[in-house]
Amino acid sequence: MLGIRRVDRRPEWRERLEGAATRLNALGLYPRPFTLARVAVVVWPGFFAVPGMRGFVGFAAWRLVILRRDVVGDGLLVHELCHIWQMRHHPVRMPLTYLVVPYRTNPWEEEARMAAGEPSRLGGSGG
């Protein structure tokens, strides 16, 4: 139909998501630990055909992570789950920041990149 597949209930995905949650909690970014409760992860390639989304491979919104494909690195899972954690602590401020701060310099993106072990894009030639 729409090509949406929920993957977070599959044992191999559950193990990877639990590992990503453990990595996030080790960082201690927020007072309440991250939990996978009520988090859904779907693979939905068609979502990334929407204008403005074509350059992305993952997207997170409150309790949902959308992935372009089901073969992704653990760093991307950590990055997207970090956004879920951010939204749990700042449910209004975090998403609204994307309306006024460029993606490249957005502090929520910087925090998610750091959590995933990705290089910072501030002041660099990153892409």
Domain span at 92: 5-116
- Cα–Cα distance, 116 to 5 (Å, whole number): 24
> pTM for the full model?
0.90
Q: Does a structural domain hold residue 127?
A: no
Q: Does a structural domain hold residue 16?
A: yes
Q: Does a structural domain hold residue 51?
A: yes
- Cβ neighbours for 39, distance < 8 A, ≥ 6 positions apart: 8, 17, 63, 64, 65, 81, 84
What is the model's pLDDT at position 48?
96
Indicate the pLDDT class of residue 121, thresholds 50, 70 and 90: low
- DSSP 8-state class, residue 33: P
Number of domains, the chain: 1
